[in-house]
Amino acid sequence: MVNNKMVKKSQKYMKSEEAELIDKWIIILLSSDNNAPIKGRIRFTKDFFLIAEKFLHDLYKASEFYPYHFGPYSTRFGVRVNNLRKNNLIQAKLVNQDWEYSLTEKGIKLVNFLIEDIPEDLLKNIENIKTKNKSLPLKQILKDLYIDYPNFAKRSIKKVEYSREKTNLSRFEKIKDGPGFVAPFALGEREIELKGKAAKIFLKLLSE
């Protein structure tokens, strides 16, 4: 069973300290690996989820991740990405039909201040996640997430069991409720419908 707290959508509105915490680690994530950009909204979200879940309990709690089309998603993360863009701290460019996220010069200037008291081993762990996922196909990132965190797949998959040897994807379902993305992540009703159809097709590919 999916924990009720897990399936509850994350709320757009948050305390100022929660917003500042999410902002801080978005910037630190984008600064790792020599400020290398992160290609794709889904990859960006999954990188952020992994650093929060593995290393930063307060960030994980503040972000309120929940199951959505492609595993864990956080409305709050999307909101803060948009806010950082509006404040010219990060930028998003459309490259090959997907968004590519990186720090602006203004954002880069903040990094040294933000990481001043962060342990080197934590910064290295964040870099390792980012560099590993950068080199992996998105299909593999999602498959690994579904195996390691099956509860976050249960809104898009019904009664499907995972193992590292074989993933049964014969009964994938489109999520019928969920806020979608916000701002540059934002989708119109027609786009949401098309994304849902694309999700079904994509998830089938994971079994190939």
68-127 pLDDT, tens digit per residue, is 877 799 999 999 999 999 999 999 999 888 899 999 999 999 999 999 999 999 999 999
Distances (CA, A) of 97 to 94, 162, 194: 6, 31, 15
Q: Say which residues have a Cβ less than 8 Å from residue 141's Cβ, sequence separation at least 6.
A: 42, 43, 46, 133
124-174 pLDDT, tens digit per residue, is 999 999 999 999 998 899 888 888 888 887 654 333 333 333 444 443 333
pLDDT of residue 205: 57
pTM of the model: 0.73
Helix ranges (H only) for the chain are 4-7, 16-35, 41-55, 57-63, 75-86, 105-114, 120-135, 138-148, 189-205
Q: Say which residues have a Cβ less than 8 Å from residue 71's Cβ, sequence separation at least 6.
A: 46, 49, 142, 145, 146, 149, 152, 153, 156
pLDDT of residue 187: 42
Q: CA 149 to CA 60: how far, in whole Å?
A: 14
The pLDDT-based confidence of 29 (bands split at 50, 70, 90) is: very high
Please enumerate, as own/partner, the contacts of 79-87 that have beta carbons within 8 Å and a separation of 24 or more.
Answer: 79/12, 79/14, 79/182, 79/183, 80/19, 80/22, 80/23, 80/26, 81/26, 81/44, 81/183, 81/184, 81/185, 82/182, 82/183, 82/184, 82/185, 83/19, 83/23, 84/23, 84/26, 84/27, 85/183, 85/184
- Cα distance between the two ends of the chain: 27
Q: Say which residues have a Cβ less than 8 Å from residue 181's Cβ, sequence separation at least 6.
A: 41, 78, 187
More confident of the two residues 154 and 3 = 154
Cβ count near 185 (within 10 Å): 20
> Residue 161 carries which side chain, given as an amino acid letter?
E
The pLDDT-based confidence of 206 (bands split at 50, 70, 90) is: low
